[in-house]
Chains A and B, each alone.
Chain A
Amino acid sequence: MHMNDKIPLIREKALWMRRTAFAMVHRAQLGHPGGDFSAIDILATLYFGVMRFDPKRPDWPDRDRFVMSKGHATGALYTALCAAGYFPEDWLATYMQPRSLLNGHPNRNYLPGIETNTGPLGHGFPVATGIAIAGQLAGAGYRTFVLTGDGEQQEGSNWEAAMVAGHRRLSNLTLIIDRNRLQQGAGTEETSGLDPLDKRYDAFGFDVTEVDGHDPAALLAVLGAAPGSKPRCVIANTTKGKGVSFMENVASWHHGVPNDAQFEQAMKELV
């Protein structure tokens, strides 16, 4: 199949993920929908256009690895794993309810398809670096993808990982940064600025590409490309709350939850 033949499927899955994730947040009255929506097209592209995996064998040694470092965006991650076939759809309705396996932050002891627990920021990229080094040491053919938030890049542990990944030329590692320019409380550039993010990662030894993080074709082109000689950094320019007019670029939707009217309005827009 030609790579671009996958685009309709990615779009279809991303739409389903947005609608389903928002329904989960609406039901639970808990969650992080703004960051779910900025990340969903990236996850849909990875799971339905790029990665090799087998949901029946979550421990398959040759699987490509995905680490969701922005672990709070569970609406995006759980709907992606469900759509990818890791668990049945009725589990999603239990999101954040007592005894649910779908906690506010992903737990690898509860759900198949989760490589590592995340939630505290700045953990996923270093873990992914370790996974990539392991693949390099073992001569394994799998690739490792990690998605961080952009505000998350303020955690110093990311830059320790970046130094190692660049130094070891971990070409099997792809760092994707969800560059929506908003963190929980304010804009990244007014809090502790990240720009020029591309130049910073270039200086750390990464092949850096900036893409529209909501365009599956652009994402596929860079994420699906064969590894080069360096680790790859994909700065995915995104919109927090993407797809719902009243949520887009509004920081308070980081962990805002919809009332019934807002939910209905969003369902009308997400078509």
Chain B
Amino acid sequence: MEMVNRPYAAAFEAYAVQHPEVLCLSADLTSSCEIDGFRDRHPDQFLSLGMAEQNMLSFAGGLGLAGFRPFLHSFGVFLYRRPYDQLMASVAYPRRKVRLMGFLPGVTTPGGMTHQAIEDISVMRTIPNMTVLEAGDATEVESIVAEADRVDGPVYCRILRGAVPRLFDTPIRIGQMRVLAEGEDVLVVTAGITTEEAIRARGALARAGVSVRHLHLNTLKPFDAAQIVDHAASVRHGVITLENHLVTGGIGSMVAEALAEAGLARRLIRLGLQDTYAHGGSRPYLMKHYGMDALSLVRAVERLTGQATGIDEDALGAVRIDAVHSIVKAEAL
């Protein structure tokens, strides 16, 4: 498994230098969002007006009105929690071409509740005119820059930073989910870092005789409900969603809405944060603690099929693809 170091940094710079109407905005999380090199090499295309997110959202609206396409870089939480009203009135309603690059989605930060974007999908997908994307590997992080910039309106992206595994060899395309496996027992729907967990689980599940149909979502809005329903209809036992987010309002809810509106009766297990804030801690610890890891997925599959697989942590450890992410050490703040 190839690990790519700071894929966003190189991809953003390569794209932005070709598009002078793209501006790079930071609210003093410049190195934390991997744009410190860009700031140093392209100061005329970079704006940091300090830690002032409400102001940043509104002046981004102004830049958009004047024909620029600002890329806003911050931790995901700071792009919607604090400046929500500014986001609605200055950016979303007037459909400005503002690109919101939200780093440290969900439990990928050890910073605790104040820094964990655990309801961002839920919030963002309810905003009219908003597009919501989530990168699940290095290739998607690299290609999300140009893809987001094609959108005629605002876009919110969940971005992975640091060392990111490369799982895919084709770029992200808005509206095109990835069908990673076409099994017939259980449908598993993942996005972002949970896709890697599901890939780990799939190997062990296949050896245990469970055939998984696995969809990776990179476009959360617009949501392709029809395709989800088609896939759900083609499995025997039901559907499991696994998300780095609260199950309320996120992918679990989106799938539930799709199944209900289509009148398709399938059991649905929603894995993710269950109406709780998360502790601070390392990503592997938090994913295990809150039932968002490969083993949690295996147990959910067993609940749907009614059959034990005999898979334990050791069996999953053998297929661990993410060798670089330390088990014990938290990611940087």
Is B305 interfacial (CB 8 A cutoff)?
A: no
Some 22 contacts from A to B, beta carbons below 8 A apart, are A28-B330, A30-B110, A30-B332, A31-B333, A32-B333, A71-B114, A98-B281, A98-B328, A99-B279, A99-B281, A103-B111, A104-B110, A104-B333, A105-B111, A107-B112, A119-B115, A154-B28, A154-B49, A184-B29, A186-B48, A191-B49, A255-B332
Is A136 interfacial (CB 8 A cutoff)?
A: no
Q: Do residues B77 and A120 form an inter-chain contact, with CB atoms below 8 A?
A: yes
From B36, B54, B112, contact of A105 by CB (8 A): B112
Q: Name 18 extra pairs, CB < 8 A, besides A120-B78, A156-B55, A184-B31.
A: A30-B110, A31-B333, A96-B280, A103-B279, A104-B333, A105-B111, A105-B115, A107-B280, A118-B114, A122-B82, A151-B51, A155-B51, A156-B54, A183-B50, A183-B51, A186-B48, A191-B49, A192-B48
Measured between alpha carbons, how far is A188 from B28 in the docked complex, in Å?
10
From B48, B77, B282, contact of A185 by CB (8 A): B48
From A96, A185, A192, contact of B52 by CB (8 A): A192
Which residue from chain A places its CB closest to the CB of B110 in the assembled complex? A104
B115 to chain A, nearest CB (A): 6
- Taking Cβ atoms with an 8 Å cutoff, the residues of B that contact A are 26, 28-32, 36, 48-55, 77-78, 81-82, 110-115, 279-282, 285, 328-330, 332-333
Task: Give the chain B neighbours of A154 by CB distance below 8 A.
Answer: 28, 49-52
Task: Give the chain B neighbours of A152 by CB distance below 8 A.
Answer: 51
Measured between alpha carbons, how far is A53 from B298 in the docked complex, in Å?
51
Q: Do residues B333 and A255 form an inter-chain contact, with CB atoms below 8 A?
A: yes
A102 to chain B, nearest CB (A): 9
- Total A-B residue pairs with C-beta atoms closer than 8 Å? 98
Q: Do residues A183 and B28 form an inter-chain contact, with CB atoms below 8 A?
A: yes
**With contact pairs A98-B281, A105-B114, A105-B280 given, residues A120 and B329 touching in the complex (Cβ less than 8 Å):** no
For A48-69 the 0/1 string (1 means CB < 8 A from B) is: 0000000000000000000000
Q: Do residues B112 and A185 form an inter-chain contact, with CB atoms below 8 A?
A: no
Task: Give the chain A neighbours of B81 by CB distance below 8 A.
Answer: 120
B100 to chain A, nearest CB (A): 17
Task: Give the chain B neighbours of A71 by CB distance below 8 A.
Answer: 114
Q: Do residues B31 and A191 form an inter-chain contact, with CB atoms below 8 A?
A: no
A143 to chain B, nearest CB (A): 26
Q: Do residues A98 and B285 form an inter-chain contact, with CB atoms below 8 A?
A: yes
A50 to chain B, nearest CB (A): 27
Measured between alpha carbons, how far is A153 from B281 in the docked complex, in Å?
28
B82 to chain A, nearest CB (A): 7
Is A209 interfacial (CB 8 A cutoff)?
A: no
Q: Which of A128-174 contact B (CB under 8 A)?
A: 151-152, 154-156
Measured between alpha carbons, how far is A188 from B49 in the docked complex, in Å?
10
A214 to chain B, nearest CB (A): 24
Measured between alpha carbons, how far is A83 from B50 in the docked complex, in Å?
34
Task: Give the chain A neighbours of B28 by CB distance below 8 A.
Answer: 151, 154, 183-185, 191
Is A29 interfacial (CB 8 A cutoff)?
A: yes
Is A121 interfacial (CB 8 A cutoff)?
A: yes
B94 to chain A, nearest CB (A): 21
Is A117 interfacial (CB 8 A cutoff)?
A: yes
**With contact pairs A72-B333, A184-B28 given, residues A104 and B111 touching in the complex (Cβ less than 8 Å):** yes
For A90-126 the 0/1 string (1 means CB < 8 A from B) is: 0000001011000111010000000001111110000
Closest 8 CB pairs of A and B: A192-B50, A154-B50, A119-B114, A103-B280, A103-B112, A185-B30, A154-B51, A98-B285
Q: Which of A22-52 contact B (CB under 8 A)?
A: 28-32
Q: Do residues B32 and A184 form an inter-chain contact, with CB atoms below 8 A?
A: yes
Task: Give the chain A neighbours of B332 by CB distance below 8 A.
Answer: 30, 255
From B48, B53, B112, contact of A104 by CB (8 A): B112
Measured between alpha carbons, how far is A151 from B50 in the docked complex, in Å?
8
Task: Give the chain B neighbours of A72 by CB distance below 8 A.
Answer: 333
Task: Give the chain B neighbours of A29 by CB distance below 8 A.
Answer: 329
Q: Do residues B112 and A155 form an inter-chain contact, with CB atoms below 8 A?
A: no
Instruction: Give the most central of A30, A31, A99: most B CB within 10 Å.
Output: A30
A78 to chain B, nearest CB (A): 13
Q: Do residues A191 and B114 form an inter-chain contact, with CB atoms below 8 A?
A: no
